[in-house]
Amino acid sequence: MSAPSMTLYHNPLSPFVRKVMVLLHETGQQDRVALQNCVLTPVDPDQALIEDNPLSKIPALRLADGNVIHDSRVILDYLDHQHVGNPLIPREGSARWRRLTLASMADGIMDAAVLVRYEVALRAPEKHWDKWLDGQRDKIRRALALLEKDAIAELTSHFDVAAISVACALGYVDLRHPDLDWRAA
């Protein structure tokens, strides 16, 4: 077995990193990637990560040629083009746009859930912006309702970028926001 040719800046609790990890596993590429753990918050960035991604956001993937790509959507697309087998992101046509739109909806759920987590975990309770928190939670609820109404059949019948993204979003909501009780909705 050869040494990993790429390095993924990651934190196992990040739902965006989890999407990348699932795709790596499902496409058999996990041995190609070394993991560089990052512990960061918006107010305490990881210094090593900043050198490769000035936004200090994970995931970021250092390629074998030294270039760094970031944002889970870009990394997923890159990795999907690197494996042999059926693509997990359709290459063209209406199926591509539908699957990417569903994945984007899941990313929006993750964005809102991470923002709520930061507000609750990093700010003193008396400084919480309750109206803003309610707005983020409402985004999550509306997006979940839309996915259940319009996409549940296709999400359960196709394993691809949309299914990966929705599963990771739901897992993160379960982990960080069990009070949303989305399963009962």
* Ordered structural domains, the chain, with CATH: 6-82 (3.40.30.10), 93-184 (1.20.1050.10)
> Residues 80-104: what's their mean pLDDT?
96
pLDDT tens by residue, 155-182: 999 899 999 999 999 999 999 999 999 8
Q: How far apart are CA 40 and CA 44, in angstroms?
A: 6
pLDDT tier at 41 (50, 70, 90 boundaries)? confident
State what percent of residues in the chain have pLDDT above 70: 99
Q: How far apart are CA 64 and CA 37, in angstroms?
A: 18
Is the predicted pLDDT of residue 1 greater than 70, yes or no? no
Q: Does this model's pTM top 0.75?
A: yes
Q: Evaluate whether 139 touches 106 at the Cβ level (below 8 Å).
A: no
pLDDT tens by residue, 116-139: 999 999 999 999 999 999 999 999
Q: How far apart are CA 171 and CA 183, in angstroms?
A: 11
> Residues 38-57: what's their mean pLDDT?
90
Q: Which positions ≥6 away from 143 have C-beta within 8 Å?
A: 105, 106, 108, 109, 112
- 15: preceding bond cis by omega (within 30 degrees): no
